[in-house]
Chains A and B, each alone.
Chain A
Amino acid sequence: DADVTQTPRNRITKTGKRIMLECSQTKGHDRMYWYRQDPGLGLRLIYYSFDVKDINKGEISDGYSVSRQAQAKFSLSLESAIPNQTALYFCATSGIGGTGTYEQYFGPGTRLTVT
């Protein structure tokens, strides 16, 4: 089983709809992240959470909200989706690995299309 899972993997929704993207991890990591990937722009950080009670805005948080329901779960919500939120969304986790440094793991991505 994958260490970081994202649901759904693909979603098409209409402008104005509320949508939630979910992320779960079995790595036991404290830190979780949501990134967005747009063509030609690389990955940009939306929100991050260093533990259940610690949530922080990233570079492009406007139009998004998050919920850290448990150590293993971190959800991203679009309260009212708009077409320019069409993108590939990645969840990631990080924690100290065997090397004593933080290692990051990415989920498989969720492709979201807003029409």
Chain B
Amino acid sequence: AQKVTQAQTEISVVEKEDVTLDCVYETRDTTYYLFWYKQPPSGELVFLIRRNSFDEQNEISGRYSWNFQKSTSSFNFTITASQVVDSAVYFCALSEGRGGANNLFFGTGTRLTVIP
């Protein structure tokens, strides 16, 4: 059965600190996709990244970076030099099947608060 675990319920950091959000997943499929979404206080879901199971290269986008390790079934998200605008709930999600065609299974989210 598929499962996504975000063990960190809430994290607080002071502005400019780096922070890593953990995500551990379970799946029996060999083909799957992993996602991160941001949910700011306004409530909408903002897509951040999609990574397929065959690509373990880490990715960097500005202050954001992602570390995908199949050996530990983890897909961690790091924000460098955090800013107040990064305050949000962050969700990790898993989609099984070729092309990411199937439903998303979400973790319970990590609430990040960046203190000015």
Contact = CB atoms under 8 A, between A and B. Distances in A.
Contacts of A94: 100-101
B100 to A, nearest CB: 4
Interface in B1-41: 4, 9, 33, 35, 37
A15 B94 CA distance: 34
B109 A42 contact: yes
Interface in A39-96: 40-45, 48, 58, 88, 90, 92, 94, 96
B45 interface: yes
Counting chain B residues whose Cβ lies within 8 A of the other chain, the interface size class is: 20 to 34
Interface residues of A, number: 26
Contacts of A102: 95, 99-101
Contacts of B93: 43
13 contacts: A31-B101, A40-B108, A41-B108, A42-B91, A43-B93, A43-B104, A58-B103, A100-B99, A101-B99, A104-B95, A106-B45, A109-B43, A109-B45
